[in-house]
Structure 1
Amino acid sequence: MVIDLRSDTVTQPTPAMREAMYHAEVGDDVYGEDPTVNRLQELAAQRLGKEAALFVTSGTMGNTTAMLTHVPRGAAAIVGDQAHIYRYEGGGAARLGGIQLWVVPNQPDGGFDQEQLAAAITDESDEHTPPTALLCLENTHNRCGGRALSLEQMTALCGLAHARGLKVHVDGARIFNAAVALGVPVSQLVAEADSVMFCPSKGLSAPVGSLLVGSRDFIERARWVRKVLGGGLRQAGILAAAGIVALEQMVERLAEDHAHARLLAEGLADLPQVKLDAQRVQTNIVIFRLQDGERVLPEERCAEFLVRLKDEGVLLSSMGNGLLRAVSHYGIERPHIEMALLAIKRTLEAMLPRTRVGRLS
């Protein structure tokens, strides 16, 4: 048995999803005639409190589509220095839309310092800099440990951007994790945003696809951009059917994933070879470093650890620069977390035998 904690993208569709996909009523979505896609889009818009939605193949496509729709060629979009859009999406906005990504440091929780953010916004009065058209937020924030931006933070950041004439896009790949962790309706959490992308294919366990939501006018323009990107699908209702089940059946259970992540974090923090503040783990992502005494292990030693741990039947992922990540998800239960912790302990004891062992048994 392999315990795969690399990402919540590795989830398998539920039996209900497989049944829905088998029986899905389909049509040609490029013509707008797939009834199951249309139902998913209507449901997504309703859940997030927006006018309309668009089914896309991936979170990257959703974010890129949003940016190409919001930002004129040659203008700028503000992103965090730890943002998924900046680090993991191939520079699509720059490559395809001539959009300059203006980078502002993320705070530890994934938000922004408002003074730094305000100072980064420019307009057409200065011919030396591209005018800023868009602020991109991320909630929850992947590289910041799955932290959730609060309703107050979201409202304040959107308000600052709108006051300066910017649109706001939320990379909400795991926005439902944020809403569940905060105890806030997801529609309220993103109420001030102009567009939101979220991924049923992560913690909600659907096999494929993401949704982009916003105003009806925005989605009409985004649909054109999706076509240009090659995202116009035909009988996509087979995929959309799983997304409907995800929204109807899989949201509340995200709290289980959060509890399992906290259990994992507490166990890891008990190991002397692990550097981690378990109190910072808020949703389903656990990010940590390895250490030998006071020395943090370099990237190559972390890579060795991941290979050894794989031989023990546990998969984690590297985020580079010595950061390791574990993600809880559907299909991972408490016994899996306990087995993973024991495997991690054995592996670290074999690699760092001089380090005092922790209290796991």
Structure 2
Amino acid sequence: MTIPSVSIPYNPLTEVTADVGGKENVESLHRIARDFRSDTLTVPTDAQLLYSLRASRGDDVYGEDPSTVALERRVAKLTGKEAAMFAVSGTMTNQLAIRTHMKQPPHSIITDYRAHVHKMEAGGIAMFSQATTHQLFPSNGLYLTAEDIEPQIQLGTNIHIAPTKLICLENTLSGIIFPQEEVVKIGQLAKKHDIGLHLDGARIWNVAADEIEKRGLDAGNEDDRQTVLTDLLAPFDSASLCLSKGLGAPIGSIIIGTKEFIERAKWFRKAFGGGIRQCGGLAASADYALTNHFPRLAYTHHLAKRLEAGLRELGCGIAAPVDTNMVFFQPQQIGLSLDAVTARLAALPNPIIVGRERCVVHHQITPQAIEDFIACIAEMKKEKEANGQVENGEGRIGDKEQQKLDNYNQPKGKTTDAVLRKQAALGY
């Protein structure tokens, strides 16, 4: 069966020109259009940077930059929260939000064992909040449930264990959408025990784009975006929304919450050295991305699903559901090592760059890059078959990889901690 390719209604390769951006940045864009390592790698477009030139140039530490204030108010309204605060990165906004929730040790935070706040933020929770994390393993192999969390909540009756003060969820995690009905249940559980609920929503924009498409709404319509984002974020007391991943802002992330929460967070932002003076240009560039790049996210999902389908047709394993813009592929299923595939893709006349098994499709990836990726794997498989090393499209796969595939594609009952620990490559 031949799977049709996907087209997109814009050409990312035309959005940086030599006249405005210079030859070097044009060349950089052409490389990034075939770079699957992360959606943080996108190149600011000419239009985006020209828009930022007209931004205000006030001092945001004094709260006197209109462009920054406008972005914060826009995101607060979109998400149905009272207030928002701009900062330089998703790590900073997560850690600022967590620190703002924490009042006095001893205290602890419940997270998924793969969570970015626990695993990929340089130990910030311990460093800045003097808190410990209680990492949980989802029994379904995909996402935490209220049933996973409730028995692990510490209410302060056992002096040996720091009481739970916050639950942190992540949506998406490994590109997987956290079911909203489960988020609502966890929110109700948190409120029942007077525990805060924070979202690492670095890629919540992808969730919103998917939901808008499912509801038949318009991703370019502000009211439709507001409807969906408000629904998604209603259960949370706070959230960190990254602007420099899917949306393609050059820098920035934003915290949302109550006015009181955001005012407290500003104290910690100052203490962390995170205040930006004339940041209007950065805020305006993010604002442009929210308007112009957000509607592209659904296309990145379609491209990711095309990549998944092409790789599956060749016999590659897929280690996690492809709900949005990430594909975790396992070429070992057809007898190809990740190292060999990575090297071969990079050696193409027009190189393709991947970060091991994780492939992230961003708004500047071209459909041609997807097709070339699939074609390269097909060629490698054909060579293997010609050498008699692949039989019926089936290759040997290691026990660890097989366990990962089995648990993500066919979860059966309660997944053991030992098996889940072997999936630690996911969630980054």
TM-score, structure 1 normalization: 0.89
Q: 1:267 aligns with which of 298, 310, 335?
A: 310
1:206 matched to 2:249? The reply is yes
Q: 2:191 aligns with which of 162, 165, 176?
A: 162
Q: 1:180-219 residue pairs with structure 2 within 5 A? A: 180-183=209-212, 185-219=228-262
Mapped contact 1:79–1:103 kept (Cα < 8 A):
yes
Please state whether the residue corresponding to 1:317 is helix, strand or coil: coil
The structural deviation recorded for 1:42 is 0.7
Q: Give the fraction of aligned pairs with identical amino acids, expressed as a percent.
A: 36
Match of 1:140?
172
Q: 1:124 aligns with which of 140, 148, 156?
A: 156
The structural deviation recorded for 1:331 is 1.3
CA distance in 1, matches of 2:275, 2:381: 48
Mapped contact 2:154–2:163 kept (Cα < 8 A):
yes
Match of 1:28?
59
Amino acid at match of 2:257: G
Per-residue deviation, residues 180-216 of structure 1 (Å, max 9, x unmatched): 2133701111111000111111111111100111111
Q: 2:322 aligns with which of 281, 293, 296?
A: 281
The structural deviation recorded for 1:343 is 2.5
Match of 2:374?
341
Please state whether the residue corresponding to 2:166 is helix, strand or coil: strand
Match of 2:147?
115
Q: 1:302 aligns with which of 338, 359, 364?
A: 338
Q: 1:314 aligns with which of 337, 352, 367?
A: 352
Mapped contact 1:27–1:35 kept (Cα < 8 A):
yes
The structural deviation recorded for 1:249 is 2.1
Please state whether the residue corresponding to 1:36 is helix, strand or coil: helix
Mapped contact 1:271–1:357 kept (Cα < 8 A):
no
The structural deviation recorded for 1:242 is 0.8
CA distance in 2, matches of 1:157, 1:228: 32
Match of 2:131?
99
CA distance in 2, matches of 1:356, 1:27: 66
CA distance in 2, matches of 1:102, 1:277: 25
Please state whether the residue corresponding to 1:202 is helix, strand or coil: coil
Q: 1:51-90 residue pairs with structure 2 within 5 A? A: 51-72=82-103, 73-90=105-122
Taking only aligned residues, the RMSD between alpha carbons, in angstroms, comes to 2.1
CA distance in 2, matches of 1:17, 1:33: 23
CA distance in 2, matches of 1:139, 1:349: 38
Please state whether the residue corresponding to 1:13 is helix, strand or coil: coil
Greater fraction of residues in helix: 2
CA 1:215–1:137 in structure 2 vs 1: closer, same or farther (change >3 Å)?
Answer: same
Greater fraction of residues in strand: 1
Match of 1:177?
206
Q: Which runs of 5+ in 1 are unaligned?
A: 319-323
Amino acid at match of 2:57: V
CA 1:309–1:124 in structure 2 vs 1: closer, same or farther (change >3 Å)?
Answer: same
CA distance in 2, matches of 1:115, 1:151: 15
Please state whether the residue corresponding to 1:45 is helix, strand or coil: helix
CA 1:99–1:139 in structure 2 vs 1: closer, same or farther (change >3 Å)?
Answer: same
CA 1:84–1:357 in structure 2 vs 1: closer, same or farther (change >3 Å)?
Answer: farther
CA 1:195–1:107 in structure 2 vs 1: closer, same or farther (change >3 Å)?
Answer: farther
The structural deviation recorded for 1:116 is 2.4
Per-residue deviation, residues 103-123 of structure 1 (Å, max 9, x unmatched): 111355743132220011012
Please state whether the residue corresponding to 1:329 is helix, strand or coil: coil
Please state whether the residue corresponding to 1:54 is helix, strand or coil: strand
The structural deviation recorded for 1:302 is 2.4
TM-score, structure 2 normalization: 0.76
Please state whether the residue corresponding to 1:187 is helix, strand or coil: helix
CA 1:131–1:18 in structure 2 vs 1: closer, same or farther (change >3 Å)?
Answer: same
Mapped contact 1:314–1:343 kept (Cα < 8 A):
no
- 327-336 vs 132-141, which moves further: 327-336
Q: Which runs of 5+ in 2 are unaligned?
A: 1-29, 216-227, 394-428
Pair member with larger Rg? 2
Mapped contact 1:109–1:149 kept (Cα < 8 A):
no
